[in-house]
Amino acid sequence: MMIFDFMNTKNKINKKKAKILLKLKKILSDTLDEKIKKYSAETEYNPFIRAIAGEKRQLESSFVHSLYTTLGMSVWEQFTKCIGDSIGLKVTKQYQIPYSISLDTDTKINQLHQKLERKKIPNNTEEINKQIKDFAQPGSGNIDDEDKVVDIFIEDNEKNLIFIDITSPKPNIKECKAMKLKLLRWIAIGHANYKDAKSIKAILCMPFNPWNPKEYNHFPVKKVFDIKNDLRIQNEFWDSIAGFKIYDDIISVFEKVGKAKIKKIEQKFKDL
């Protein structure tokens, strides 16, 4: 009986995954079609790069750089919402936090952040979050919080809340410090205002690992964050949203859509 239960569960996951992948394929295909339609080469004059690499490679490089921007600003959030919605999570893109924290709470958060920077306390997010829960108080009135926009906000059926900031995999040290403070403030906002929540988490997510198959190894991130508790990278990110392995399937979606669009892209280069 246990074998049959396992097979039934596996079949249900496979059917659910197949539906999700079809939706992801459409999102990516539509986004690429729009990108190809509207794309125009950057107007910046750089004769040195063109002289070395040639006009074709310069145009290709410009297009690839533009794709990075499109993925970061649009596709990753759409993919996350699509996967989360499909498995029954409540997912909001560009969530506008309707609450704030008190001045005293804000001061304590900044003090914690400074202690972390100066290595006066261990960078243990679980312990720090317990401290924040003890002192977090809501702000008065309708004050907009400075970190009120969240890339992805997730609520599951048990009232577990997750604030997600999706970022590129190689942020500089200044960006890392700002993002760490943002995560701390989201934890405070969560504990101060979402009183019926079972748990509050704030995490930084990266769609891929540039060092793959080796371990993620970006020094500024490892210096500032609690890697175990603050980050979800590549498989950990996508698979944790789905609740099953899906990262490799997402790569397959990109490969299929890329092959289907390559002639359109090449024709675009000819028309530029």
Encode pLDDT of 74-116 as tens digits: 899 999 999 999 999 999 999 999 999 999 999 999 999 999 9
Of 32-41, 178-187, 240-249, 257-266, give the lowest mean pLDDT range. Answer: 32-41
Query: Strand 160-166 and strand 149-155: pairing?
Result: antiparallel
Residue 242 amino acid letter: A
Among candidate residues 253, 209, 234, the one with its CA nearest the CA of residue 20: 253
**Residue 272 confidence (pLDDT) above 70:** no
| 215: DSSP letter | P
The rounded distance, in Å, linking the Cα atoms of 35 and 139 is 42
What is the pTM assigned to this prediction? 0.90
**Separation in Å, CA 219 to CA 170, 171, 176, 227:** 9, 10, 10, 11
pLDDT tens-digit map of 42-66: 656 678 877 887 877 777 788 888 8
The rounded distance, in Å, linking the Cα atoms of 101 and 144 is 10
pLDDT tens-digit map of 61-83: 888 888 888 888 889 999 999 99
Instruction: Using pLDDT thresholds of 50, 70 and 90, give the confidence band for residue 4.
Output: very low
